[in-house]
């Protein structure tokens, strides 16, 4: 059994955020849910407690608090506010894996804001409805990229555990072996 990790999901109630949250609720990780709308957070949290009673989920009101407690941070926020959000949590995410889900931003943009974190782009190639369909045994392709080997391994394992097939996009020498365009 993989070591239990604490995962903070910022923007947990958005369409992308909630799809990822529901996927991860099936794993044995502890989830910290953060969103501005307290009512929506409560609805989501109640839903998870009912559907996945064994999963440890907590609603956390402050993104910095959530990220401080977490081992892995998922920023399920729109691309245009990502940098600002990263700047808010900068102090508490050094050396941690920070996952960006936006298809609009790049690794290097985030790297400038949080240079001492292990930034991974993941889930950006999937639609929320695709994520909702994922289940173990299925092989839905999911692209990931990062400059950090260890982070790629950890996130690949996480994707596999929820039924996604990680396809690593090599940032340094772009070519994807199992795809021919």
Partner 1 sequence: MYELLHQRISEIITVTDEEFEFCKTLFQPKKLRKKQFLLHEGDECRYTAFVEKGILRTFSIDEKGNEHILQFAMEGWWVADLYSFLTNEPSTYNIEALEECELLLITKPSWDLLFEKIPAFEKYFRIILQNSLIATQRRLMGSLSESAEEKYEKLVAAYPTHLQKLPQHMIASYLGITRETLSRIRRNIAMRK
Closest CA to 105 of 79, 131, 144: 79
> Per rule CB under 8 A, is residue 91 in the interface with partner 1?
yes
Number of residues this chain uses to bind partner 1 (CB under 8 A): 12
Q: Residue 94, interface with partner 1 (CB under 8 A)?
A: yes
92 is a site residue for partner 1 (CB under 8 A) = yes
- Of 39, 95, 173, 175, which one interacts with partner 1 (CB under 8 A)? 95
Q: Which 40-69 residues touch partner 1, going by CB under 8 A?
A: 65, 68-69
Extract the tokens encoding 56.
């440890």
CB of 165 to partner 1, least distance (A): 27
CA distance 100 to 30: 19
**Angle, vertex CA 25, rays to CA 138 and CA 152, nearest 5:** 65
With CB under 8 A as the contact rule, the residue among 52, 71, 107, 111 that binds partner 1 is 71
Q: Would you mind telling me the total number of residues written for the chain in this entry?
A: 181
CB within 8 A of 131, min separation 6: which ones?
16, 19, 20, 23, 123, 164
Residue 6 and residue 67 in contact, taking contact as beta carbons nearer than 8 Å: no
116 or 135: whose CB is closer to partner 1?
A: 116
- Which stretch, 40-48, 78-86, 89-97, 104-112, contacts partner 1 (CB under 8 A)? 89-97
Q: With binding defined as CB under 8 A, does residue 155 bind partner 1?
A: no
Number of H helices, E strands in the chain: 7, 8
Q: Which residues 106-145 are close enough to bind partner 1 by CB under 8 A?
A: 115-116
Where does this chain bind partner 1 (CB under 8 A)?
A: 3, 65, 68-69, 71, 91-92, 94-96, 115-116
């Amino acid at each position: 059994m993989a070591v239990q990790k604490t995962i903070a999901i910022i923007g947990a109630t958005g369409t992308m955020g909630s799809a990822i949250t529901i996927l991860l609720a099936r794993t044995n990780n502890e989830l910290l849910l953060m969103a501005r709308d307290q009512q929506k957070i409560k609805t989501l949290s109640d839903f998870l407690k009912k559907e996945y009673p064994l999963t440890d989920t907590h609603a956390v009101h402050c993104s910095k608090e959530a990220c401080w407690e977490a081992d892995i941070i998922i920023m399920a926020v729109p691309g245009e506010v990502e940098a600002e959000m990263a700047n808010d949590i900068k102090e508490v995410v050094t050396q941690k894996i920070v996952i960006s889900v936006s298809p609009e931003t790049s690794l290097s943009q985030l790297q400038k804001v949080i240079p001492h974190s292990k930034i991974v782009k993941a889930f950006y190639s999937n639609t929320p409805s695709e994520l909702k369909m994922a289940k173990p045994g299925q092989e839905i392709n999911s692209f990931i990229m990062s400059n950090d080997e260890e982070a790629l391994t950890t996130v690949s394992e996480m994707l596999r555990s929820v039924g996604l097939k990680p396809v690593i996009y090599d940032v340094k020498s772009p070519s994807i072996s199992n795809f021919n365009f």
